[in-house]
Amino acid sequence: MYSIFNAIICGAAFLLTFIIFVNQNKINVKANRWFGSFIGCIFLILFENVIVDSKILREDDILNQLINISSFVVAPVFYLSVCYYIEPVRKWKAIDYLHFSFAFLIFILLIISWIIDDNNKPEDISPEIVQKTIAIFNFIFSLYVFIYCFLAYRKIVKHEKTIKLLNSTSENLDLKWLKNIIVGVIFITIFWVLDIVFQISEGNKTFDILTSLIYFLSILYITYYWQKQKEIFPYSLKEKEEIETIIVETSLPEGKRKQLLTSEELEEQKIRLLQLMETEKPFLEFGLSLVKLAGSMKISTHILSYVINNGFGENFYQFINRYRIEEAKKLMIDSETDRLSLLGIGFSVGFNSKTVFNTTFKKVTGQTPSEYKKQIGSNL
C-alpha cells in the first residue's frame, strides 16, 4: 500500500513537471523553466524511492546513484527559479555554475568510487564510523538546503517591496506561494535534521507515510498556486531594463542615488502628475502600473518613479492606493452611492480584494471602512 502511494505521488510530480514545462499561457517563461526543473528534481527523488522500494534497483546500482544526484541540485535550481521570477532581465552568468559545484563534487566522488576495484576497498572500517560519516554528510546536506532556502526567502521578501515600486496591486505578483513553499521546505529540513540526530524514522512506517503525505499535499498546493500566477513583468525589453535600473537604484543608500531632475523640474512634474490624478483619475483602474501611468504622462518609467519617491515620499503602491482611499471616503459620504456596499465601493475605486481594501483603508485612516462609515453616519 505504501509503495503504491509513493508511486502515485511520483506520477503526480511527473505530471506537474510536464504541465510547467508546457506552460500553455507562456507566463514567466524563463523562471518557469527553472521551476519546472525544480519539480523535475523532486520527481527524480521520489522516483528513486519508488524503484528502490520496488526492488527494481539496489541502492548501490550506478543508475540509482546517478538519479540520486538530483538531490544535490534541487536546492540551487529552486533558488535560481526564484532569481528568474524576480529579476526582469536576468541572464545566465558564469558565476552561476558555482551553484552546482556541490553536485559536481558528488558526481566526481561517484566516478572515483566506480573506478576503484572492490578488492581495493578497505574492509576493516567499522559500521559505527560509516554511520557517523553518513550522519555528518546528511547534516551538511541539510545545512546546504537550509542556506539556499534562506537566500530564496530573502529574495522574495525583497521582491515584495520591489513590486510596490511598480504596481498598485501585489495580488498574484508577490510570489507568496513560493515563500510558503520555502517555509515548508525549511520545516521539512529541520524535521530531517532531528531525524538524523534522534533516528526518528528508524523502522517507523508512520514517519515515512507522514513524509509522503507532506510531499503529496505540497504538489497539490504548488499545482493550485502555480496555475494562478500572472506575468510579473509584462513589459517590453526597454521597459524591463528601466525597471531593473529602478530596482538597483532603490536598493542604494539615499546619498548614492542619482539626481534625475532639478528642484524646478521635479516641482513641474509633480504638478503635472497631480493634475492627471485629479482630472483623469487613472487610479480607478485595477492593476494600474508605473509603466502605464508613465505612458499617460509621456515620460519614462524611471523619471515617474523618481517623482513619486522624491516628490511625495511614497512608493507607487502607496501613492495610488492613497488616492483610492480618498475616493472611497468621498463615495461613503455621497448620498447617491448609498446603494453601494463597502465592498462595492472598494471595487469601484480600483481594489480587487476585500482584504487589501480593508487593510489599506485602515493603514491610511487608522479605521476600517465599516468603522469610518459608522463614524460619518453618527456625525450627520
**pLDDT value of residue 130:** 66
- CA 138 to chain CA mean position, Å: 27
| Contact predicate 226/149, CB 8 Å | no
Question: What does each C-alpha distance from 202 to 142, 162, 208, 325, 364 come to in angstroms?
Answer: 18, 45, 10, 58, 55
Distance CA 364, CA 373 (A): 15
The series of mean pLDDT values per 10 residues for the chain, 380 residues long, is 80 94 93 95 89 80 88 93 92 94 91 71 65 77 87 92 90 83 77 66 72 83 87 90 90 87 96 96 94 95 95 95 95 82 93 92 93 78
Distance CA 357, CA 362 (A): 9
**pLDDT value of residue 108:** 93
Give me the architecture of the 323-380 domain, per CATH.
Orthogonal Bundle (1.10)
Q: Name the residue with cell 558564469.
A: 94
Read off the pTM: 0.86
Distance CA 147, CA 142 (A): 9
DSSP annotation of 42 reads H
**Whole-angstrom Cα Rg for the chain:** 27
Distance CA 315, CA 309 (A): 6
**pLDDT value of residue 262:** 95
Q: Which three cell numbers, joined as nine digits, stand for 184?
A: 515548508
**Residue ranges per structural domain of the chain:** 2-117+124-226, 235-313, 323-380
